[in-house]
Chain A
Amino acid sequence: MAEPNEALVAELSDLYWAGANQFPLVAAYYAQATRHLHNSSWRESEAFQRTEDRLVPTRDEDVMVDEDETGTRTTLLPEKVVWERPWEKGKPSGLTWESVETRSRVYPHLKGLRDRLQEVLGDTSWNLQITGTVLIQVADSYASRDEATAEAVRETVAGFAQDDRLVKAPEEIPTIMMPGAEHDTHVELRESPVPFGPDHREVVVLDEEPKP
């Protein structure tokens, strides 16, 4: 078997190492970032909750009824919707004031931006993982053209794995959390009703009984 080219072996080994360690390492950070961001959405709808006083109809002629395949919707006629308080406009006949739970108008927009960022980070993590895998295949593909090179690459990469000075990928890449996914839960700090999370861990605190 011919002697392998040392520089070529070094380059292929680095390519393999990048695919097997450096890319998964970066992918893990991105996956963790999706989890932190996901935790920011824990009970967020409550944070944005508002109470509004609105007029609701007491007469059939003040509402319009839409029927389609999804069902029947009853909506107050637009001209009957008055958001001011009763002492500002008075109470029109046929309508009555009712306090209703709504959400801040900012909420859907902020959620839209945050969700997009979360999707982007999740996509990037996934892309990094795929690219790492492809780099390994690329290194394997090149090395397989020459048995001596392939053997030398394998030995070098095994040496990398034993070298404590080299930064290595975590054993497991955290699960990417996309918008809408169920939140992980942790019950040790149950007295707190809000999200909580130290670096590199996601600890979402439940204020309800844990699932069996």
Chain B
Amino acid sequence: MSNSDDIMTKAVEIQELFMKIAESDFMVECAYAAPAGDKFSRLIEPYADVIERFRWAAELDPGKYDPMLEHIEYTKATLDSAEISDAMARIRTRLTYWEGNTAKDFVDNFLTPFDGVRIRQVFLAENVRRAVQATRDIEETVQRDMLELQDGIIEVLKQIKKEEKGFFDKLMAVAKVVGTIAGAAVAFGSMGPGLAIGLGLIATTGEAMSLQETFSVTVEGENPAEVVESMDKAINGLRDAMTREEDKLIEILAEDITMIDRDRVEPVPDFVCRRPDVADGVADLEQFRPPPSTR
């Protein structure tokens, strides 16, 4: 079962727990006060759309990014292949004695910068891969954190349900519920930050940048209304944390794009424009200077 399925399963369980507690409250109040016609409807209204609160997290699908990552890996492997290095090395070692303006242009504008340009290109491909991976990690972590959050909510609601045996018992149960909630909050803390995604995204300058959003949530309440309020805050907090992480990712991507637009380097052109028989007519065999022993 996927995380998405688990989130919706737990969402249903949470909704049912809220409803059962509401029913229990209704029964208790019926025993001590005359029920109003729509009292039950009003009692369950705050919990009617509990499931929907979790749907956005369930709809995330980190696995969708895997094919993209695979193809970007192919791109990197192709760019980084030894065949390219070998071919350029063969060109360098075999073209040793060609001199003159054309040769100089070829070496200065093409051969010399090529390796550096290729390294930048591989680097850039790695950045694209990391950005997709980061997007995937954010979604995956949010889903995991949502599941943790749901476990905490279920635990708290079960405690409330367990203690709600009657109107007077309920008053007695408040402290216990709070205690259980505090325990749940500690449990969130002890497993580390609720949402902590550490990513190192390397900008094209080579400067390492990291995404690190730390986030923890607590679900608490002495009654269902308070639980639902703190639950909503926790869900919103999780969503806000996700937004902040994406904002950081966007910032890094924007910086990379700016750098590319500013520094875009392509090996070539001057050399291509100045071929000897087109530009200056200096196609002179003297521009090839073989080693002295063979001249």
Contact = CB atoms under 8 A, between A and B. Distances in A.
B71 A195 contact: yes
A127 B106 CA distance: 12
Given A5-B294, A18-B91, A22-B90, A141 B65 contact: no
A106 B250 contact: yes
A106 B124 contact: no
Interface size class of A (residues with CB under 8 A): 35 or more
B67 A8 contact: no
Nearest to A41: B68
A22 B67 contact: no
Interface stretch (B27-35, B155-163, B165-173, B252-260): B252-260
B67 A196 contact: yes
Q: Interface size for chain B: under 10, 10 to 19, 20 to 34, or 35 or more residues?
A: 35 or more
Contacts of B284: 142, 145
Nearest to B233: A88
Nearest to A6: B294
Contacts of B110: 131
User: DSSP class of B's interface residues: helix, strand, loop or mixed?
Assistant: helix
Contacts of B254: 109
A106 B253 contact: yes
Given A7-B97, A47-B64, A142-B285, A113 B71 contact: no
Interface in A21-66: 22-23, 25-26, 29-30, 32-33, 36-37, 39-42, 44, 46-48, 50-52
Interface stretch (B14-22, B190-198, B272-280): B272-280
B75 A36 contact: yes
Given A26-B83, A144-B283, 6 more contacts: A18-B91, A29-B79, A104-B246, A110-B131, A124-B267, A142-B287
Interface of B: 49, 52-53, 55-56, 59-61, 64-72, 74-75, 77-79, 81, 83-84, 86-88, 90-91, 94-98, 102, 106, 110, 117, 121, 124-125, 127-128, 131-132, 135, 232, 236, 246-247, 249-250, 253-254, 256-257, 260-261, 264, 266-269, 271-272, 275-277, 283-285, 287-288, 290-291, 294-295
